[in-house]
Amino acid sequence: MDHISDAFKAIREQLPEMEYRTGEPMKKHTSFKIGGNVTTMFFPVTQNEVVKLIEILHGFGVKPLIIGNGTNLLAEDGLLNILAMKTYGGLNSIRLTDDAEITADSGVLLSKLASFALECGLTGLEFAHGIPGTLGGAVSMNAGAYGGEMKNAVMKTTALTPDAALFEITGDAHDFSYRHSRFSDSGDVILSSALKLTRGDPGEIKGQMDMLAKKRRESQPLNMPSAGSTFKRPKEGYAAALIEQAGLKGYAVGGAMVSEKHAGFVVNRGDATFKDVMNIIDHIRETVMRQFGIELEPEVKIIRSRQQ
């Protein structure tokens, strides 16, 4: 714990204007509305603040938890021995940098990015309009929906290594694959990305966005807290179909439940705990493996307390 308290003191001394909150509840920063209190959460508003923050933390051997909009996170309950940094709300610059190129900070919401592309008459991000996460999180996991993926648009990313060294990658160096990129497990911190789009008809772009939004409303439990798709798509079919075939639609533990609207979603009925959701995830994996011989891999990122 000394490393964290020493790092906190150094950050307060060297970045006195940066907003922070101690004992901040993760349930306030995740779409699941679940999670205990992190030691401290920082809210940088410039890339320079992020660089300095990561530099200080590295000096004390502390690995921060990077949060965008918290839409793919399930955090443990109780006290979390974690220093967190939230990009959404602070790192929000977005600009047209070429005729069909948009550059945006990692904390920009995908919905805002897609709307900006529409305003510019650019097509290629219609699929992203209803994804609730930030650009940084979306690039890190190669987010996608309805046949679209971030890898089809992202051309360049600026990031920091865990020891605060700035670097830039382009194209294939992102190592994109299904729900994965080189950033997924690297510990690097994404600062911004440039996306290459194409000119399109604003009316058609808007029509496609509206159609996909309607699909989401009709098929997904958008009115209940969740982390979106709970599992990655297996090679053998679809997770939601397997879960439904296993008879688990509506299966509940405590305040958590497999959505009756879409079996790929585990939802919080109001008072779900971390253990409730984990028990459902484990039960689904065991049941699907037993019935179909297929291993489901969680898409949601599990956050537990750390030993620093």
Give CA–CA dist 59/63, Å, rounded. Answer: 10
Q: Is the pLDDT of residue 1 over 90?
A: no
Q: What are the C-alpha distances in Å from 54 to residues 6, 81, 86, 99, 214?
A: 14, 17, 12, 34, 41
**299 flagged as catalytic:** yes
- Domain boundary (25, 60, 86) is at 86
Instruction: Please pick, among 111, 226, 229, 259, the residue that the annotation labels catalytic.
Output: 229
Q: What is the pLDDT of residue 271?
A: 96
What CATH number is attached to the domain comprising 195?
Answer: 3.30.465.10
The token pair that represents 282 in the structure block: 């484990």
Q: Which residue has the tokens 């793919």?
A: 72
143-174 confidence digits (pLDDT tens): 999 999 999 999 999 999 999 999 999 999 99
Instruction: Please pick, among 24, 76, 149, 299, the residue that the annotation labels catalytic.
Output: 299
Instruction: Please pick, among 49, 76, 179, 193, the residue that the annotation labels catalytic.
Output: 179
In the chain, how many domains are there? 3
The answer to the question of residue 269 being in a domain is yes
70-100 confidence digits (pLDDT tens): 999 999 999 999 999 999 999 999 999 999 9
Confidence of residue 306 (pLDDT cuts 50, 70, 90): confident
Q: Which residue has the tokens 């005729």?
A: 99
What CATH number is attached to the domain comprising 62?
Answer: 3.30.43.10
- Domain boundary (177, 204, 231) is at 204
**Is there a single domain that holds both residue 55 and residue 119?**
no
- Domain boundary (204, 235, 265) is at 204
The token pair that represents 255 in the structure block: 């305040």
182-218 confidence digits (pLDDT tens): 999 999 999 999 999 999 999 999 999 999 999 999 9
The answer to the question of residue 212 being in a domain is no
**181 flagged as catalytic:** no
What CATH number is attached to the domain comprising 278?
Answer: 3.90.78.10
The boundaries of the domain holding residue 234 are 221-303
Q: Is the pLDDT of residue 307 over 70?
A: no
**Is there a single domain that holds both residue 195 and residue 240?**
no
**182 flagged as catalytic:** no
